[in-house]
Amino acid sequence: MTKPESTTAAPAALDKEAGGGVRSLSDPYRKVAAAVAVLFSVFAIYTNGLSNIQEIYRNLIFLGLLLILTFFFYPAGEKSRKDRFGPADYLFILLAAAGLCYLLVNYTTIHVDRGSQPIMVDYIFAGITIIVLLEAARRAVGIFIPVLCLIAIVYALFGTYFPWIFGHAGFSLERLLYRLYMTTEGVLGLTLSTASTFIVMFILFGAFLSVSGATQLFNDLALAIAGRKRGGPAQVAVISSALTGSLSGSAVANVATTGAFTIPLMKSIGLKPKFAGAVEAAASTGGMIMPPIMGAAAFIMAGFLGISYTTVILAAIIPSFLYYIALIFAIDLEAKKQGLKGISKENIPNVVQILKDRGVLLIPIIVVIGTLLAGKTALFAGFAGIGSVIVASWLTRDKSSRITFKKTIEAFIEGGKGTIQVGIACAAIGIIICVVTMTGVGSTLAYNIVELTGGALWLILIVVMLTCIVLSMGLPSTALYIVVAVTAAPALVEAGVNPIAAHFFVFWFGALSNITPPVALASYTAAGLAGANAMKTSWEALRISLPGFIIPFMIAYNPIILLQPSAEGETVSALSVILVVITSTIGIYALASSLGNYLFGKLSLVERIFFLAGALLLIKPGLMTDITGLAICSAAVIFHLIRIKKNSSFGVPA
C-alpha cells in the first residue's frame, strides 16, 4: 500500500504536555537514564508479583525512582539543555533521595518508637520532599497541578481568612506536613498506591504491546476494515485511535502516534486539514474513556468507589461505544456532504494476510479482558497480559514482532518513561486529596452547589460540567480524573446521582477538555500535524464531538447505560440495556444530523430543529419520551425526503 507522507511533528507534539519538553539525551546520559528506567520497571514487577514488601516502603522506593527519572528526562525549562543533565537536576535528585530515604529508614521510629510524635528534623525532610515533588510535577505535568497544590496548602493553613462557606479553623504547618509526608493520607496515599501497582503494570503491558508491533497491527486492521468506506481514512482514524488510545490513555500521545499515519490519509481523499485534525483529536480523546485502561483512571476510580476494576470497565463499554458511534455518524455525514470516497483497493492491506502475520498479537488483549471477567485482580491481569504478549510475539509469522531480550529492555525503558507523568501526578494530587479530607471542603462545596441550584439536577449537571472542563484543562487523564473526583463528583452524589454515574460524568467532561477551547491540547497537536489553524481545528473538533457531550447527561439520568440500576429501582436486564442502546444510538444520529446540517441533503431550519428536539427526547430515559422522540424524528425524515424529492423534480440542488 502507499505510505502516508512522513511527518516530524509527532515528537514535538508529545512535548506539549510538559512545560520544558522531554529530553533527547546523548550518551552517556541516555544510558544512565535508561538504566534507572529499567531498574524502575524491574522493581515494579518484583514488588507486585514476587515480594511481600509493605505498601509504605513500596511507595517510597517507587516515588524515589520516579523522581529521579523525572529530573533525568524533563528539563527545568525550555531554555535548559535537552541532551544532558544539569546542576539543578543533580541537586533535586539528591534532595529527593534525602527526603525519601530518611522516611524509609525512620518510618518505624516515628510511628512506633516515638508514638507518631514528629520532631523538627522530620518536618524539615517533609518540607524538602514536598518542594521537590512540586518541582517534579511542574516539569512533568505542567504548572497547573503545582499551583492547585499550593492553593490547597494555603487553604489548609489559612482557612480562617477564607470567606463564606470556604472558611475553616485552619491547621498548623506541622500538622499539615505530618499528614502529607508521614502518613498514608497524603503524598504516599491511595493515588500513589494505585500508580505503584495497577497503573505501572498496565503501562508496562502497553509498552510490551508497543514493541511487539501491535500498534501497527491496529492501524492495518482499521485500514482494512474501514479504508474503502465513504470517508474511509477518517473512519480509520476513529478505529485505530480507539484501539491505541485504550492502552496509551493520553489524548496528546495518541494524536502524535496515530495522527502521523491517519491525518495524511484523510487529507489525501480531500478532507480539509482542520477537519482531518479535528477527527483525530476527537477520536484520540475518546481513548481516555475506552476500556480496558481508560488512561489508568479506571484503577483510581475503582479505588475511590470501593468497587472492582471489572465493574468499572464493564460500565464504560456502552458509553464509549456511543461516543465512537457519534464520531462515525458525524464523519459519515461530512463525507456524504462533500461527496468523498474511500481509499482505492490497491492501497488497502489484506485483512487475512494481516491476521496471518500478526493476528496473534490480539490474544493478549483478549487474555486481559477474559482474566478480568473471570474475577481475577487487575494486577493478575496485568501480569497475564505481559506474559501473553511475550508468548504471542513468538507465535507470529512476522519475525520483527518477536520480543527478544533487547526488546524487553526497550519495553522496560518505555514503561519507566511512560509512568513518569501519571505517577508524579498521582503523588502530587495526594496533597489536594489530603487537604480536601482535612478541611471537608468537598462535602461543603457539594452541599452548597445543590442548595444554590435549588436541587435542579439539570442545572447541577451543567455547573459541574463547566467546572470539570475548566479544572481539567491541560492535565493528563489520571490527574484530571482525581481533581474532578474530589472536587466535583461529591456534588452529583449529593444530588442523588448514582455514585458510579457521578464519577463517569466528571471524568468524561474532564477528558473532553482536551478538545474544548481555549486549552485543547489534543486539538492543537492534531492541528500541528495537519498544518491547520489550531483554534479552528479545536472548534471543529468540538463541533463533531458535540453528540458525545450529551452522553454524560444520559449517564446521569439513566445509569442503566453503565449497567447500573436506575434511581427508580429499575433493574438491569438485557431488554432494558438493548432498548437504551437502540434509542440512544438513534438519538445520537439525529443529533449528529442536526449539528452537521445534513441527512440525504442539506436540512432546512425546521428539519434541524425537529431532529434536535427528537434527539433530546430519545436521549432522555422514559417510554413516553422515547415514543415522542421517535415520532418527531420520523416526521423530520419524511418531511426531509419529500422536500428533497420535490426540489430534485424542479432541478433544485438538495
Query: Residue 120 has what pLDDT?
Result: 94
pLDDT at 401: 82
Q: What is the pLDDT of residue 246?
A: 65
pLDDT for 20 equals: 61
Q: What residue type is assigned to position 207 of the chain?
A: A
Q: What is the pLDDT of residue 1?
A: 41
CA distance 345 to 573: 43
pLDDT of residue 4: 41
DSSP string, 419-464: HHHHHHHHHHHHHHHHHHHHH-HHHHHHHHHHHHTTT-HHHHHHHH
Please identify every stretch of the chain with a pLDDT value under 50, giving residue numbers as ranges.
1-17, 652
Where does residue 376 rank: exposed (0-12), middle (13-18), buried (19+ CB within 10 A)?
middle
Going from the C-alpha of 424 to that of each of 67, 137, 418, 461, the distances in angstroms are 8, 6, 11, 30
Contact criterion met (CB below 8 Å) for 431 and 160: no
pLDDT digits (tens, 9 = 90+) for 155-212: 999 988 888 777 888 889 999 999 999 998 889 988 898 889 887 888 888 889 888 8
CA-nearest of 515, 14, 508, 7 to 252 is 14
